[in-house]
Structure 1
Amino acid sequence: MSRWFSRWSATLLALIVSLPAAADSARERLTRFYDQVETMRADFEQVRLREGSETGRRHAGEVVIHRPGRFRFEYIEPYEQLYVSDGGRVWSWDPGLEQVIVQDVTAILGNTPAALLAGNEPLEETFRIAEVGGTDGERWVELRPREDAENFEQVRLTFGPEHIRALEIVDGTGQTSRMTFSRVAYGIAVDEGRFHFEPPEGADVVDETD
């Protein structure tokens, strides 16, 4: 799962402080999402789909973000996984394996989907951005990395009138990972302790920060 998260490094996930008008374009909603929101929490449901498939394995959990660089993705179903960043390091904790992988946050952000959620670098410098339609108040925007990305080809974000609703990634093999958000809250007070992780006693710690 930690290698998967690097592909999302992503994920992600914070959002618009002021509500956009119904006539706002997808690009305007993306700009507000990226430029105006410092903190966010949401429940998420993630499904990974093979090319041509409409069903896939379901994962669910909670995400908390404090820009720049701090995030906490906590998977609860069907098994526990945890990804925590304090803005400098990322801890990937797998309770089943009793293993922690520690990485530099710069290895997770950059031209990756996580940069959309937790980063603060100008999007136009990293991604080609295109509006791709919308229905019933939703707006869709597609982003492709300006430089070749090892683990994904494109990202599509779905925005409702008030909040981000979904993030969808297509990787180089044609597999799609779709994360939908619910109970989204922006501009919340966040306990900074949630962005730190102390490996449990006896855990196998793999440090990749050197």
Structure 2
Amino acid sequence: MTHFSFLSAPPARRFFAPACRGVVVGLFALFSIAASAQVATVSGLESLEAFVKNTKSGRAVFTQVVTSPARDGQTAKTKTSSGSFEFLRPNRFRFVYKKPFEQSIVSDGQTLWLHDVDLNQVTARKLTQVLNGTPAAVIAAAADLKALQADFTLVPQPDRDGLEWVQATPKTKEGQVQNLTVGFRSTGKGSELAVLEILDSFGQRSVMTFTQFEINPALTAAGFQFKPPAGADVIRQ
């Protein structure tokens, strides 16, 4: 697997084994910078709260760039993938990777399914075993900001690239995600998910850029049911 899944940061093609991060001269300058940062960071938290509270379903296409840290004098390597994404609160989501190879990650609310088309293999795990402290918990699971704060330390970030940002650091130390930063775009319909940056415990960084985002499309729970294809090797963990 060459991409971050929505739940972890895999460096190889296997399930959940394989993303994201001067000098002030004078008191007046310090005050000015702090004040402007505070204004920007408040809007980042407000955007996250509005997204979690008001966006009950969503659909988008995405491009994902994963950068592995340089080792042994070698330059950092990047890999790009793309596909589509949709979710329905609570706890239902689907990531479909189309390029460079086909793979689906589907949650029906109880079970998380990973279907690797090339390997003709399906892996199933209970959602409660893998959800906490992951990007999916932030984007598709939490019902409100208070629920998020139970599992994440939320730190608003200054605006950049025309987006409002907030960083979420998992409180659990058992997961593979070190921290994630979410960028939102304000629209007439609400806060739109624009960018998800993930840094994993191996130093691998993933940047997912979402486009054609639809807020509250008509999705149903039945649309997130998954049935393993005939002949597929099914592994339950």
TM category (shorter chain) comes to: 0.7 to 0.9
CA distance in 1, matches of 2:162, 2:79: 28
SS of the residue aligned with 1:27? Answer: helix
Instruction: State how far apart, in whole Å, the 1-side matches of 2:63 and 2:80 are.
Output: 7
| Letter paired with 2:218 | A
Structure 1 residue corresponding to 2:127, chosen from 82, 85, 105: 105
Instruction: Identify the match of residue 48 of structure 2 among 20, 24, 30.
Output: 30
Alignment of 1:35-114 (within 5 A): 35-51=53-69, 56-114=78-136
Identify the residue that residue 36 of structure 2 maps to in structure 1: none
The structure-2 alpha-carbon separation of the partners of 1:159 and 1:54, relative to structure 1 and needing over 3 Å to count, comes to farther
Query: Could you tell me whether the CA contact under 8 Å between 1:72 and 1:194 is conserved in 2?
Result: no
Aligned: 1:172 with 2:173? no
Residue number in structure 1 paired with 2:182: 157
- 2:166 aligns with 141
Distance 2:172 2:220 in 1: 35
1:193 is displaced (CA, Å) by: 3.7
Runs of 5+ consecutive residues of structure 1 not aligned to the other structure: 10-21
Q: Which has the larger radius of gyration?
A: 2
Q: Work out the CA distance in 2 between the residues paired with 1:165 and 1:7.
A: 19
The verdict on how the C-alpha distance between 1:47 and 1:141 changes in structure 2, with shifts beyond 3 A counting, is same
2:153 partner letter: R
Note the C-alpha offset of 1:4: 5.0
The percentage of counterpart residues that share the same residue type is 33
CA deviation after TM superposition for structure 1 residue 100, in Å: 0.4
Is 1:7–2:36 an aligned residue pair? no
Aligned counterparts of 2:41 and 2:231: Cα–Cα separation in 1: 55
Q: Equivalent residue of 1:34, what SS?
A: helix
Give the helix-richer structure, 1 or 2. Answer: 2
Out of 186, 192, 195, which is 2:224 matched to?
Answer: 195
Query: CA shift at 1:98, angstroms?
Result: 0.6
Q: Which has the higher mean CA deviation after the structures are superposed, 45-54 or 104-113?
A: 45-54
CA, structure 1 residues 124+152, in 2 after alignment: closer, same or farther (shift >3 Å)? same
Cα distance per residue 1:116-173 (max 9 Å; x no partner): 1121251111111111211353111111112214201110001112311100110111
- Helix, strand or coil at the partner of 1:29: helix
Amino acid at match of 1:26: G
Contact 1:50 1:56 in 2 (8 A): yes
Are the counterparts in 2 of residues 71 and 84 from structure 1 also a CA contact under 8 Å? yes
Aligned Cα RMSD in Å? 2.4
Distance 2:196 2:53 in 1: 17
Does the Cα contact within 8 Å between 2:41 and 2:156 map onto a contact in 1? no
**Contact 1:40/1:188, CA 8 A, preserved across alignment:** yes
- Aligned residue pairs, count: 196
